Amino acid sequence: MADSAGIQQGSPAIGASGLVPAAPGAGGTEGSGAAGGSARIAVKKAQLRSSPRPKKLEKLGVYSSCKAEGACKCNGWKSQNPPPTPPRTDQQSSTVNLQEPCRSCSHTLGDHVTHLENVSEEEMNRLLGIVLDVEYLYTCVHKEEDADTKQVYFSLFKLLRKSILQMGKPTLEAQESPPFEKPSIEQGVNNFVQYKFSHLPSKERQTIMELAKMFLNQINYWQLETPSQRRQRVPNDDAAGYKANYTRWLCYCNVPQFCDSLPRYDTTQIFGRTLLRSVFTVMRKQLLEQARQEKDKLPPEKRTLILTHFPKFLSMLEEEVYSHSSPIWSHDFLAGAPAGQIPIHTVISAPPVARPLYYSTSPVSVDPSTCGSGSPARKTASVLEPNPVGEKRKPSEPLPHEENKRPRVVGDIPMELINEVMATITDPAAIPETSLLSAHSARDEAARLEERRGVIEFHVIGNSLNQKPNKRILMWLVGLQNVFSHQLPRMPKEYITRLVFDPKHKTLSLIKDGRVIGGICFRMFPSQGFTEIVFCAVTSNEQVKGYGTHLMNHLKEYHIKHEILNFLTYADEYAIGYFKKQGFSKDIKVPKAKYVGYIKDYEGATLMGCELNPSIPYTEFSVIIKKQKEIIKKLIERKQAQIRKVYPGLSCFKEGVRQIPIESIPGIRETGWKPVGKGKELKDPDQLYSTLKTILQHVKSHPNGWPFMEPVKKTEAPGYYQVIRFPMDLKTMSERLKSRYYTTRKLFMADMQRIFTNCREYNPPESEYYKCANLLEKFFYTKIKEAGLIEK
């Protein structure tokens, strides 16, 4: 066992085998650790429960009120000859005499235990367990130095004492009962694994699951710092909120680890994001530091998992824990299996906490008789392992997930069918591998595989005036300056150098074999809600490998984590195609007032924008789409197998029939065919007039309808009528409607569509008129659908 002296309270400890907890013993020096201290408590309970019945009555009499006549107020029998303190282990146990008088009230021991005469052995053993827990908590109260913790111990002490007097079960009285926050930490980590790693092959996904179990186990055995310690470390934190969670943690998670008469819950199942945020930073730092210190004592098969994969896992999780827009903490997080191979609630659960006779895996570290200066209840340690020694892994039980149920949509594929199909393609061998040279392979597939193998790396770097220069980062910045200068010859080299080394700009760099082969230089404007992309290039001999797409996908995820969801860039004629493939368009979503004066204007370039969706994992998006295609393909194959039936040919045409309805063809509906919705054509002229008039009034009163109210004046737009041969406006449409020109919905819709088409043909995409046309067009078609003139 590793020497645990000097381990900070709350820090993990890794035993010599990498499996056994090594916790501080008495006063933080005893090497036997948690297992030894907890075992001694369990042994005492076992010895007491195996004692003769008179001995048990004597023990319970100490905590039983006197039942003698005359309303005696004695609340517990006290021996005339109390045992020495501490008791001698070699002393022979004396015979119990029920007639021995109480030192306090002079009534006999039998008068104190008359209520236990007909109590079963099982009930008596339960009460004896509470008695030992009371004695242990009494020791904790006197040893504990922290006022908040002492108060909780004393409250629990009184609760258990009362339970013995009333022969009841201890029940914590609180305003709230577990769970205290949803989704729980365990559910959030499950969602994180599903969100980030569901695309991985089964072997790699299993590694991630092991890391997640390891992390959940750490939290379940983690020692929270006291509220006073936290106030000193984080003065501006929500002290009241943390104190409430700390109290709950002591009552429901920590104390019940050694006082098993109290109900015990796992921290990860009753607490959520709030508690995790308060402990994650310190916990991550101490875990990784302890792992580095104990690395030589780790078994070889665990060394890579703990020293290499675990830090990366924690870094990715940390971003989701502190991000305000992370989807993993949403109650509506998709819990179905299509995005992964296992239903979300059964991906991971923390190792179950057993309650054996010997607490060989409990992190509690002391026996009441060996306490140091601190409370024995709060001395603990953790292990970097998914499951401690002595605890068998049990199949995870599905958690209740009513909060994640989505309303069924008509036409949704049953989840049972999805799971059945997924089972046929989860085997990597069952999915036909797409050749990287195939037309069907994703643009970033090769780059993603190279990143997974460690061939390429991505780093966001920048110059700093406040920190000491990092030689490697400076070398990379010089490399980026060279790449941009070589690939963008029309840009002045001095201008590129100034922006790359400007502290306000950052660059997502692509590193291969230790050298820079590409990057994207950008400047973030958090207050304005957008980022400007300044330069984007990959060296010529590394192009056509998907690096550009993968670079942009990494940049998108980086900005989602920083809660900036819009990109703007000026693209020249050679770059427009690339940016279109990355989701950019000329339809700018950012209001002009937000970026004018901030973004650099380039002559002869086109302004393009991209709006990010925080729910999309962009670096894995093509993998998800590929998997979805496989699911659809399998479903189609199943449907085809079900409907594969040969019908006799149509003979009606030989009999002179010229035309038949499509739906009358045998088997046509079984294929999934449905009549094409053509919309409802109103035959009543007055009803059509009334409906079209209402729609036109809505369009004219819309905030984006102002540019189209009247015909365009030649003085305001010279040359307009040379470009637009068939002009249209809302005033003309009102006159046509009034004259009953619109005898069908199609005539009305054609004129309205002409307004939008003319606007987009004449005006540039970045203009206000172009944007108004797009927004008004969407509004118009919404109203048309609401009126039932076209199918929704």
User: Residues 364, 21: contact at Cβ < 8 Å?
Assistant: no
Structure tokens at 509: 């760099």
Residue 538, marked binder: yes
Residue 576, marked binder: yes
Identify the three-state secondary structure at position 743: coil
DSSP-derived secondary structure letter, 272: B
Residue in the block written with tokens 């023990």: 59
DSSP-derived secondary structure letter, 528: T
Alpha helices in 258-398 (DSSP H): 267-270, 273-293, 300-304, 310-322
CA pair distance 353, 387, nearest whole angstrom: 10
Residue 549, marked binder: yes
CA distances from 208 to 215, 309, 558, 617, 636 (A): 11, 8, 21, 17, 32
From the list 1, 135, 35, the residue with the least C-alpha distance to 380 is: 35
From the list 252, 278, 281, 268, the residue with the least C-alpha distance to 214 is: 268
- Position 701, amino acid: S
Residue 536, marked binder: yes
Residues 6+ apart with CB under 8 A from 608: 568, 569, 570, 571, 576, 579, 580, 584, 585, 586, 588
Residue 577, marked binder: yes
Largest Cα–Cα separation, the chain: 119
From the list 374, 399, 373, 137, the residue with the least C-alpha distance to 250 is: 137
Exposed/middle/buried for residue 677 (C-beta within 10 Å: 0-12, 13-18, 19+): exposed
Question: From the candidates 58, 320, 445, 532, which is the catalytic residue?
Answer: 532
Residue 753, marked binder: no
Reply yes or no: is the peptide bond before residue 338 cis, omega within 30 of 0.
Answer: no
Q: What is the DSSP string of 535-598?
A: EEEE-GGG-SSSHHHHHHHHHHHHHHHTT--EEEEEE-TTTHHHHHHTT-BSS--S-HHHHTTT
CA pair distance 597, 586, nearest whole angstrom: 19
DSSP-derived secondary structure letter, 479: H
Identify the three-state secondary structure at position 520: strand
Residue 91, marked binder: no
Can 532 be counted among the known catalytic residues? yes
Q: What is the DSSP string of 95-110?
A: PP-TTPBPTTT--BHH
CA pair distance 406, 336, nearest whole angstrom: 10
Residue 547, marked binder: yes
Identify the three-state secondary structure at position 120: coil
Q: What is the DSSP string of 654-692?
A: GGT-----GGGSTTTGGGT--PPP-------HHHHHHHH
Interhelix angle 685-700/730-738, nearest 10 degrees:
160
CA pair distance 520, 536, nearest whole angstrom: 4
Residue 23, marked binder: no
Alpha helices in 167-272 (DSSP H): 185-197, 202-220, 227-233, 239-249, 267-270
Structure tokens at 282: 């310190």
User: Residues 566, 529: contact at Cβ < 8 Å?
Assistant: yes
Query: What's the chain's length in residues?
Result: 792
From the list 748, 750, 753, the residue with the least C-alpha distance to 777 is: 753
Residue 543, marked binder: yes
Which strands sit side by side in the sheet containing 566-571, from one edge to the other?
456-461, 505-512, 515-525, 530-538, 566-571, 606-611
CA pair distance 485, 496, nearest whole angstrom: 7
Residue 574, marked binder: yes
CA pair distance 44, 327, nearest whole angstrom: 48
Task: Please give the annotated binding residues, written as ranges.
Answer: 536-538, 543-549, 574-577
Binding residues for acetyl-CoA: 536-538, 543-549, 574-577
Active site residues: 532
